[in-house]
Structure 1
Amino acid sequence: MSAATKHENTLKSRSSTQLVSTMLALVLAISGCQSFYGPSTPPAPAVVGPGAVSIPSVDGIAPIAPPPSPSGPGAVPPPSPTPPEPPRFGLFDSVGRGGMADARLTLSPQSIVAPVGSEVVLLGGITNNQGKGAVSERIDWMLSPESVGDFMAVDKSPSCLLLRFPSNRPRKVTNNYAISSTTTARKAIGRGTATSQDNVVVERGQTWVTVSSPTDGVSYVTAFAPNVPAWDLRKQNATIYWVDAQFSFPAPAIAPIGERHTFTTVVTRLSDGSPLEGYVVRYRSTDANAVFAPAGNPMIELLTDAEGRASAEIYQPNPGRGITQIQMEVIRPAGRSSAADRRLEVGRGSTSMTWTAPGVSLDVTGPPSSSVGSQASFQVVVSNDGDMPLQDVVVSHRVPAPLEFVNSSIQAMRDRDTLQWNIGQLAAGQKETFVVDYKILSSGSARNCFSVTSAEQVQDQACIDLNTTEAQLELNVSGPTNAMVGEEVTYRISVSNRSQSPLAGLIVKNTFDEGLNHAVAASPIERDLGTLEPGQTRNDISVTFRATRVGNLCQTVEVIGSGAEVMTKQSICLTVEQQDRRPALKIEKRGPSTAQVGENIIFESLISNTGSAPLMNVTVIDTFEQGLEPTRVSDGYQIEEDQLTWKFAQIAPGQIERLQVEVRCKEAVRACSRVTVTADGDLVMADESCVQISQASVADPNMPPPITNPPSAGGSAAPGATSPPATSGPGDNADVGDVLALRVTDLRDEVPIGGTIVYEVTVTNPRSAPDANVVVIVTVPEGLAPTTGGVGIVAPSNPNIGQRVIRFNPVAEIRPGESLIYRIPIQAEQAGQFRSQIRVTSDGQRRPLIRTEDSSVFQDR
């Protein structure tokens, strides 16, 4: 082989290698096209069958009736039940007949009315039976020769194909012919305005073209997809009706009943503002009692005159107050621009006609019965139920004999036994409300009639009957009759209304001897009872004294009426003796019942003096069994004989010392913490709390170890207790479960009887995943109760309130890091110490989160 031949073979080999490499690069490059039916393409608009017309609002013109539909293709065959062939990839424009076998062309809108000079956007797309759009597919756009208008702009979206024949390049070939290609991604076409509200959205697999016409007429647009195999699915038609018209509809009108009113619609050219004569304006009344002159029909059609005006006169055959809605349509008559023009509705509007008349009404409400000495209140409501303002409105009332005027919420003028209230002007629909108070002087019956007049000679009257009876009050005072010096004594007071009418303005007055000390005020003390309804009993009144001297100490309770007269009274006495003062020791140990290895928990010791003398030289020793290792301790402790020890010189009567110890659970055993307290006088008392420690479950490694608190007795932690470092988790004093964390705070834990305790429950999701169906249930013991009707509850879901259970509706989702806060007021009904339970469940919690909260209710002093 010669050297020349070898050199030629080498060149051929290199050329072949380069060609293969180039072809491989092209195949890899076009793989970015994926399928021509993109999986992310939303469903294309439904294909409109023959005769169907879609007419959206365009540039402020809202057509009200579809114009005649242009002839279109036959019925679209149903989608093939067989799945489409797998997508094919090619280097050039068409994917071949196999990839387009189930394709069809869509076009919208297919019929529209538009003002001349505007620009109409037509959207075309190619979809398969599954509604997926084909990308980079050619669509041809054509205007028929008899059409008005031109193509203005065409979609020039780039193709995902590397190679494309010049003839397939998107462009406007002529004013009547354009070529575009379906887009590869969703986009919006802006109209060049400052707002994006008028943008046109083009979905993946769609393309667009715009058409405009400066003159009246019709544009017939044909869209053609050459690569769609089915002849009846590759062509769609659109019709654009161009109208050189704009119109001004009349505003709503108001007139007195019996009068006629004329509505005028003005139609002008959009291009130069000149009037349009010969357009049809149709007026239609929705009220059979509102018709148009001269024929008296509820519908009339009028032609615009040389000034472009069409006026219709409306009236009522039977005059009366009311509002009539009037619908209006503007219609271009047939043959307006050419003989082929059809009658075309180009706009719609509405207005209203209101017929007015003066009117006044009076309404009086009050108690049907009342008792002598009480106060009766009447509410008077004056309303202008007409459509015109009223002048010089005056309300009058002649006071009957059993009543005596006390006052009213607006100033009254009195002339002997007649009262007058000058309301003045009252606008249409306006109401004026005032309250009049009377004192009941005697028993019997009284008819109260109020009347109203105005300068327009309209009037009304309203009467109400009142039966008056003698008042009947029952008073009962109960309490101890013996006590020791220094003791507190509580008396309960019950007041019942046995009469047949409400008793208002009642006051309970208590006058007591020296030696009975009230915590707030000296003798006498008073409390407002307000109003007692017939048969109602108030038994929630109590008074507490401290006996400070020996002897027979008495008090007198009186119920005083609104006229300052004593309606009933009762006296009760207390025999007080001297007593020896001595201390009394009480100890309570608290802690959680379960925990896990590695978890930090808190034990709490409450040492209190329930006696009348100080506890002296108090020593507290706290011990912990194997499995529990103290990590943090309340201030003031000492280590004596390897035991935590606190010492107090004295604890005063009523004083409580709260000590806390945080421990780490070291092993899976049952372990106890025991506290022993000693004081002078050979006083010794002990208590313990035990916890069952289990093996730790697998937890989120990013979460800090939870701290389980003992049942709270309300208030803050012991003074000096060291807090853990702040974290982004659920916070201190929180129970952490599988997914959620629960924290309960008693915002007001010491209240008197009748006061309100407020629990703040915080549920937090400290995890990285959401949880669902979060339910909070609050159960209170006897002595506490939910507020009436749940008044004051603030929560992310509505409560369902039982006798002593509040169950909140599920919260659908709590996101990572989110907190749900429930603020729950609870009514204190009895004195004592009470423990409420808060329970939280969710889809992610394997077992409920449960916390308890202690509250103290004391006697009102």
Structure 2
Amino acid sequence: KQETIEWMLSPDSVGQIIQVCDDAPGKLSGFLHPHRPKVEKLGVDFARGRTSSKAQVIDRGTPDCSADIHLRDGETWLSVSSKTAGVSRLTVLAPDSKLWDQRRQTAVVYWLDAQWQFPGPQIVATGNSLQLATRVTKSEGFVPATDWLVQYTIVDPNVAQFVSPTASVQGSHQVRVRVDENATAVAHLAAPPEGRGTTAVLIEVISPAQPADHLPEIVVGRGETFVTFSSPGLNVQAFGPNAAMIGDQLNYVASLGNPGDLNADNTRLVLTLPTGLRLLAASPQPSSQTETGAVWEQGVLAANRQLDVTATVQAVQQGTYDVLFQAEATGLSTRSSVRTEIGEASVDVRFAPAGGVSEGEVGSTVQYEIDIRNTGRQTLTNLKLSVETDPGLAEATQGNTSVNQVINVLQPG
């Protein structure tokens, strides 16, 4: 506490010293504490002060407390100002410090003359391009800050990409643009194929490097805006059985949707059936229908809406078939298909006496073994087994000459 501090601006610096820390201002304090280091400004580039003996709060005279500086005892401060852009190199020295290697420090202040205005959010239809223009000026907004840089970064490149000739790579997500004589730095954006939605664009204002003043590039301002590319979308999903038997009735379901944020015009859904399948019914009622397909003319499909259709089909021929649902709209098309394997039931039956014994005395019991094997490729359901005998060889428990049994499920093999 109460250590002597000396402040010096280098000869090549811009600006001047304005005020130096004094924790006990006034002549009376000097009379009461004559041994304290003296606080005095000896010129625009040199001042002498002392570390504070108490905690202080340095404010800027505004209600915003976030700009206040809280000073602890043993610390000190100095204020400098400059009317011109450039560099100030300020050296602070504690001449009485015993720490020789730490008693001198230098701070560098870069004075920049610029103000900027970021672009606002924009919304356009996909297929159109848009421009983002950041305005950067000097001297109270009248002189363009030419050669300053503005860097734009697209957060989601799936929504938008830069297409300006200034982009180093067409379709890139980041670009630097120099401020022109109109005080603007303009970036051109467009949506990539299938691009749709909203993305943030980060913006940085950068002062150019000045090697003569040892001034590097400095990011002096940051902001963001948002761009939205609107368009209709079109998708279709189809569902149906993977396998069936000849004669079965099959249900296929398709959902036609518009995931975009604009209406899709001239929308239609087309069902196409292969030769081995025949259309029996469809819901909702198609605009046109044959045994080989159907067409639903939807017209306008609103954004985020969908059309669900169902087709009932009969398998008439063995084979593997693709049931195709194709969706179309102005400038859009998509398709979805379901592959179904149609098989023919094939069963192998073996009926033989148990142990190979096929003779028996009157009143005795003869056992028979029945082996049923599914030799096809599809699972069989509700398979009915019927055994008919002569009156002299009736079933042992009930005495019937006819025995029936249902096999609910029989897997292939």
* TM-score bucket of the superposed structures, by smaller chain: 0.5 to 0.7
2:180 aligned partner: 304
1:401 aligned partner = 278
Aligned to 1:119: none
1:241 corresponds to 2:110: yes
TM-score (normalised: structure 2): 0.55
Displacement after TM superposition at 1:326 (Å)? 8.7
Paired residue for 1:29? none
Seen in structure 2, the aligned counterparts of structure 1 residues 367 and 245 have a Cα distance that, compared at 3 Å, is: same
Q: Does 1:420 pair with 2:296?
A: yes
Residue 151 of structure 1 corresponds to: 18
CA distance in 1, matches of 2:258, 2:35: 80
Q: What does 1:149-188 align with in structure 2 at a 5 Å threshold? A: 149-152=16-19, 154=21, 156=23, 165=34, 167-168=36-37, 177=47, 179-182=49-52
Backbone CA RMSD of aligned residues: 5.5
Distance in 2 separating the partners of 1:152 and 1:290: 51
Contact 2:4–2:48 (CA under 8 A) maintained in structure 1: no
Find the aligned partners of 2:298 and 2:82 in 1 and give their Cα distance. 68
Tell me the equivalent position of 1:274: 142
Which amino acid letter does the alignment assign opposite residue 390 of structure 1? A
Query: In the alignment, is residue 465 of structure 1 matched against residue 339 of structure 2?
Result: yes
Equivalent pair of 1:268/1:276 in contact (CA under 8 Å): yes
- Relative to structure 1, the CA distance from residue 301 to residue 343 in structure 2 (aligned partners, 3 Å threshold; closer, same or farther) is farther
**Partner in structure 2 of residue 141 of structure 1:** 7
* 1:452-491 superposed Cα distances (whole Å, 9 cap, x missing partner): 11133x2222211345799xxxxxxxxxxxxxxxxxxxxx
SS in 2 for 1:401: strand
Q: In the alignment, does 2:101 pair up with 1:232? A: yes
Q: Deviations over 1:500-544 (max 9, x none)?
A: 5999xxxxxxxxxxxxxxxxxxxxxxxxxxxxxxxxxxxxxxxxx
- Equivalent residue for 2:411? none
Give the secondary structure class of the aligned counterpart of 1:380. strand
Identity over aligned pairs, percent: 21
**Cα gap change, 1:413/1:443 in structure 2, threshold over 3 Å: closer, same or farther?**
closer
Report the counterpart of residue 378 of structure 1 in structure 2.
Answer: 253
Q: Residue 148 of structure 1: CA displacement?
A: 0.5
The structure 2 residue matched to 1:215, chosen from 80, 84, 94, is 84
Aligned to 2:207: 331
- TM alignment of 1:200-211, pairs within 5 A: 200-202=69-71, 205-211=74-80
Whether contact under 8 Å (1:394, 1:424) holds in the other structure is no
Q: Do the aligned partners of 1:265 and 1:281 also contact (CA within 8 Å) in 2? A: no
- When residues 329 and 196 of structure 1 are mapped into structure 2, their CA distance, relative to the original with a 3 A threshold, is closer
**CA distance in 2 between partners of 1:296 and 1:464 (Å):** 41
- Residue 304 to residue 334, structure 1, CA distance change in 2 (3 Å): farther
Q: SS state of the match for residue 101, structure 2?
A: helix
For 1:154, the aligned partner's letter is: C
Query: In 1, distance between residues paired with 2:221 and 2:19?
Result: 29
Q: Give the Å deviation of 1:451.
A: 1.7
Report the AA paired with residue 448 of structure 1.
Answer: V
In structure 2, distance between residues paired with 1:210 and 1:345: 22
- Cα deviation, 1:232-259, whole Å, max 9, x if unaligned, reads 3101111212122112345677778887
Q: Which residue of 2 aligns with 1:750?
A: none
Give 3-state SS (helix, strand or coil) of 1:233's partner.
coil
* The one of 202, 220, 232 aligned to 1:347: 220
The corresponding residue for 1:513 is none
Q: Deviations over 1:192-223 (max 9, x none)?
A: 55454444454665433333334333333222
Say which SS state the counterpart of residue 236 (structure 1) adopts: strand
Mapped to 2, the partners of 1:164 and 1:320 lie a distance apart of 78
Q: What code does the residue aligned with 1:394 have?
A: R
3-state SS, counterpart of residue 77 of structure 2: strand
After superposition, the Cα gap between the structure-2 partners of 1:248 and 1:301, relative to the gap in structure 1 and judged at 3 Å, is same
- Give the C-alpha shift of residue 450 in structure 1: 1.4
1:379–1:268 distance in 2 versus 1, CA, 3 Å: same
Q: Which runs of 5+ in 1 are unaligned?
A: 1-134, 471-498, 504-566, 570-861
Q: Is the 8 A contact 1:255 1:354 kept in 2?
A: yes
**How far apart are residue 434 of structure 1 and its match?**
5.1
2:265·2:300 contact (CA, 8 Å) conserved in 1?
Answer: yes
Secondary structure, counterpart of 2:23 in structure 1: coil
Select the residue among 426, 446, 450 that pairs with 2:325. 450
Q: What SS class does the counterpart of residue 229 from structure 1 fall into?
A: coil
Change in CA separation of 1:290 and 1:467 when aligned onto 2, cut-off 3 Å:
same
**Aligned in 2, Cα 1:252/1:437: closer, same or farther, shift over 3 Å?**
same
Distance change (3 Å), C-alpha of 1:241 and 1:294: closer
Counterpart residue number, 1:392? 266
Going from structure 1 to structure 2, the CA distance change for 1:260 and 1:376 (only over 3 Å counts) comes to closer
Alpha-carbon displacement from aligned partner over 1:68-100 (angstroms, at most 9, x marks no partner): xxxxxxxxxxxxxxxxxxxxxxxxxxxxxxxxx
**2:269, 2:296 within 8 Å by CA — same for their partners in 1?**
yes
Write the distance in 2 (CA, Å) between the matches of 1:434 and 1:258: 26
Q: Following TM superposition, by how much is the alpha carbon of 1:151 offset from its aligned partner in structure 2, in angstroms?
A: 2.9
Contact 2:97 2:103 in 1 (8 A): yes
1:465 partner amino acid: R
1:295 shift after superposition? 10
- Bigger relative contact order, structure 1 or 2 (CA pairs below 8 A, ≥6 apart): 2
2:163·2:188 contact (CA, 8 Å) conserved in 1? no
CA contact (8 A) 1:257 1:356 kept: yes
Q: What SS does the corresponding residue of 1:272 show, helix, strand or coil?
A: helix
Rounded to whole Å, the distance in 2 between the matches of 1:366 and 1:451 is 15
Q: Corresponding residue for 2:364?
A: none
2:87, 2:109 within 8 Å by CA — same for their partners in 1? yes
Structure 1 CA distance, aligned partners of 2:299 and 2:73? 68
Whether contact under 8 Å (2:232, 2:263) holds in the other structure is yes
Distance 1:468 1:444 in 2: 7
Change (3 A) 1:189 1:285: closer
CA distance in 2, matches of 1:215, 1:380: 67
Distance change (3 Å), C-alpha of 1:412 and 1:260:
same
* Partner secondary structure for residue 392 of structure 1: strand
Is 1:440–1:468's contact at 8 Å kept on the other side of the alignment?
A: no
The whole-number CA distance in structure 2 between the counterparts of 1:353 and 1:330 is: 22
SS of equivalent residue, structure 1 residue 151: strand
Say if 1:154 and 1:178, in contact at 8 Å, map to a contact too: no
Task: Identify if the C-alpha distance between structure 1 residues 236 and 403 changes in structure 2 by more than 3 Å, giving closer, same or farther.
Answer: farther
**Structure 2 SS opposite 1:232:** coil
Alpha-carbon distance in 2 for matches of 1:255, 1:230? 64
For 1:224 and 1:250, locate their aligned partners in 2 and report how far apart those are by CA, in whole Å: 46
For 1:363, the aligned partner's letter is Q
Kindly state the Cα deviation for residue 229 of structure 1 after the two structures are TM-superposed: 1.3
Describe the shift of the 1:293–1:264 C-alpha distance in structure 2 as closer, same or farther (beyond 3 A): same
1:229 partner amino acid: K
